[in-house]
Structure formats: C-alpha cells, structure tokens
C-alpha cells in the first residue's frame, strides 16, 4: 500500500541502499582523483606591479583581432573562473574566435597592502596594465572587459580615462547598488565600515565567503552537498565539483582601505547613481563613458540583480549602448554549457562590428 505522499517502506529501503552503494563507490572514486588543476589555457606573464600580474593567453592559433582585450575580474575571487577548465572557459571561446586576450590577476593582498586605496587598484594597477598594452601595440586605446566588481572598476577607469578605452564590456556588473532586490547591499548599508576595517585591518577571505554563502544557505550549505552523493561514482563529475569548490574557497583577503572606500562610496553611497565616487581626488561621472558599451547581465543573478546592472543605460554618455541578457546566474554565466555557446560569440561579434 502506498502512502498519500507516494513513498513506501520498500521504496525508502531501495533509496537507502542506492545511497550506500554511491557512498561505497565514492571511496574508490576519491582514490582516483588527484590534485585538481584549474586553468585550461596556456598563459604568460607580460607585466607586473608588485603582486598584480598581467597575463596574456595563448590559444591554438594566432589572434586575428588587432586590438587586445583586457579582462578585469573582481577582487573577492580568483580570476581563473573565466578559464576554469577546457569545456568551461570563456577565455578559450574568445581565443577560438580570434580575440587577443589578457587578464589582470590582483594577487593575494597581505598586511603590507593594508593601505592600498581604490586609486591604486583603478589608476595604478588597471591603468598600468592598460598603458602597457597601449605601448606594446602602439595604439591609443584598448578593449576592456570588466566582470562584477572588476566591471565597476572598469567603469571608473573608463570615465576617468575615456581616451584609453576603445570599447567597454561590463559583465554582471553592479551599477545601482540600492535596488530593492539586492540582499547583499541591504546588509552592507547597515555596516559600521569604519569600525569593521579599523578592527580587522585587511578583511579576511573567510568573512567574505561566509557572507556570500549565507545569501543562499539552503542551496550552498546543504543542497549541493546532498546532491554530491549522486555523482560520487562519476570521476569526471566529481573533479568538476571539486574544482568549483576550490575556486569558491580560494579567495584573497581584501585590502582594508580599498574595501572601506568601496563599501562607503558604492554600496552605502550608491555613487554611480547619486554621485560621490572619488578616485584619487577625481570625481567619477559615467557621463564621460562615451565609448561603445556592451552590458551583459544574468537574469537569475542573486549577487547582482538585473535591475542593478541595467541601470547603466541611463547613466553612460555613449550613444552606442547595447545590453545582453543571459538566462542563468552569477556563476553560470562563466561555466554553464549555455554560456560557452552564447557569451564568447556575443562578445566577439559585438567587438567585430566596431572594428570595421
């Protein structure tokens, strides 16, 4: 006889037995899994300023694009998310289409970086990488792809140095930090950031990770690990899972002073919308972003809701503004199968139309 919710003692026993078999198989699978590597694409260091390194990716064929594309990622996670593995690499998709791709690696701040400011990250490090490429390619401006917080930095840089950016792409980038559906912003606005930074100095990576994980506690603390049982007998799927876990928890500490400035001016002050962003004594006005802009946002993004990103349309000064919506979340936009099919091609096609 079957219960109203459609399970029986027999079905429960079968499910328990299946779970035991998965766990038993998992012991063998875990013995086969070695070190989990990341990064699918060969790269070489071409410029450095302290801990910050600019890398050039090397594809299977020479690039056909005449203008280099520089990727600026967020500070809170490592940038290899865009080149996680061979079948999950936005970088590889861009290289296959002929783009000449570089990425800025912010490194791991330590106590000696406690007093780095936003000016250092935006004008010194990002600006230094841009200037290096301008010199190497003997051109006035390069293409810039800013992702998440790196997109906010790229907007600031482009507004302050409009002649150095030919085309700007922002991906899952927060612009309006005060949308009602931005849970992270709602938390952060009540934070006594001065006491927080004065007490901690640099902000530990574990604190940042805890904040992000608690935005979706059931999904990120329970559901995904319960679901892990289903793949314990699949070596490749288990390696993919562990590679993602490695990225999630491979997070740098945050330089204290830059973190203070970012929270105050962006999350609390909503500076792109209200004004008040000051980078080294210069005000940021997105009206000076007059180069072509492609803004890519994710429709199910819980960290940067679509409305937070789409606000850019009303703030930039360019007459060449485009939006691309992606059916996925903040991480899926890099690693999902849909992302591999859609995102690199969309970026390449958009850039190609503006290189004629």
Neighbouring C-beta atoms of residue 230, cutoff 10 Å:
12
What pLDDT score does 335 carry? 87
Catalytic residue among 148, 156, 203, 296: 148
Chain-wide mean pLDDT for the chain? Answer: 89
**Range from 125-134, 158-167, 199-208 carrying the lowest mean pLDDT:** 199-208
Rg from Cα positions in the chain: 22
What pLDDT score does 16 carry? 61
What pLDDT score does 228 carry? 72
Does residue 5 carry a pLDDT above 90?
A: no
What pLDDT score does 198 carry? 96
Residue 124, C-beta contacts closer than 8 angstroms, at least 6 positions apart: 49
What pLDDT score does 1 carry? 46
pLDDT tens-place string over residues 143-180? 999 999 999 999 999 999 999 999 999 999 999 999 98
* Average of per-residue pLDDT across 16-36: 61
Residue 143 pairs in a beta bridge with 69, 167
* Average of per-residue pLDDT across 57-86: 93
Does residue 81 carry a pLDDT above 60?
A: yes
- Collapsing DSSP states into helix, strand and coil, what is residue 144? strand
* Average of per-residue pLDDT across 328-353: 93
Confidence of residue 91 (pLDDT cuts 50, 70, 90): very high
* Average of per-residue pLDDT across 182-208: 90
The pTM of this model reads 0.89
| Residue 148 a catalytic site member | yes
Neighbouring C-beta atoms of residue 224, cutoff 10 Å:
14
């Amino acid at each position: 006889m079957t219960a109203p919710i459609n399970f029986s003692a027999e079905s429960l026993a079968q499910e328990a037995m299946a779970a035991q078999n998965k766990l038993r198989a998992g012991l063998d699978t875990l013995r086969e899994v070695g070190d989990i590597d990341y990064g699918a694409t060969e790269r070489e260091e071409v410029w450095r300023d302290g801990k910050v390194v600019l890398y050039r990716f090397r594809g299977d064929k020479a690039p056909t694009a005449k203008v280099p594309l520089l990727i600026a990622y967020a500070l809170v996670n490592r940038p290899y998310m865009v080149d996680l593995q061979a079948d999950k690499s936005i970088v590889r998709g861009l290289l296959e289409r002929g783009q000449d791709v570089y990425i800025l690696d912010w490194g791991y701040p330590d106590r000696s970086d406690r007093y780095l400011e936003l000016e250092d990250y935006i004008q010194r490090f990002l600006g230094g990488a841009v200037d290096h490429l301008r010199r190497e390619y003997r051109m006035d401006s390069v293409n810039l792809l800013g992702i998440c917080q790196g997109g906010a930095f790229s907007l600031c840089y482009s507004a302050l140095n409009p002649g150095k950016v030919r085309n700007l792409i922002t991906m899952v980038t927060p612009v309006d930090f005060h949308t009602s559906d931005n849970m992270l912003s709602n938390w952060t606005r009540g934070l006594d950031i001065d006491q927080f930074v004065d007490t901690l100095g640099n902000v530990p990576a574990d604190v940042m990770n805890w904040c992000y994980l608690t935005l979706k506690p059931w999904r990120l603390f329970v559901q995904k690990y319960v679901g892990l049982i289903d793949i314990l007998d699949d070596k490749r799927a288990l390696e993919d899972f562990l590679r993602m876990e490695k990225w999630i928890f491979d997070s740098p500490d945050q330089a204290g002073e830059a973190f203070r400035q970012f929270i105050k001016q962006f999350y609390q002050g909503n500076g792109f919308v209200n004004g008040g962003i000051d980078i080294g004594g210069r005000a940021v006005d997105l009206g000076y972003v007059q180069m072509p802009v492609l803004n890519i946002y994710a429709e199910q993004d819980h960290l940067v809701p679509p409305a937070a990103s789409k606000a850019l349309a009303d703030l930039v000064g360019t007459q060449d503004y485009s939006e691309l919506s992606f059916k996925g979340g903040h991480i899926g936009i890099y690693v999902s199968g849909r992302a591999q099919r859609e995102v690199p091609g969309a970026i390449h096609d958009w850039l190609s139309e503006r290189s004629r």
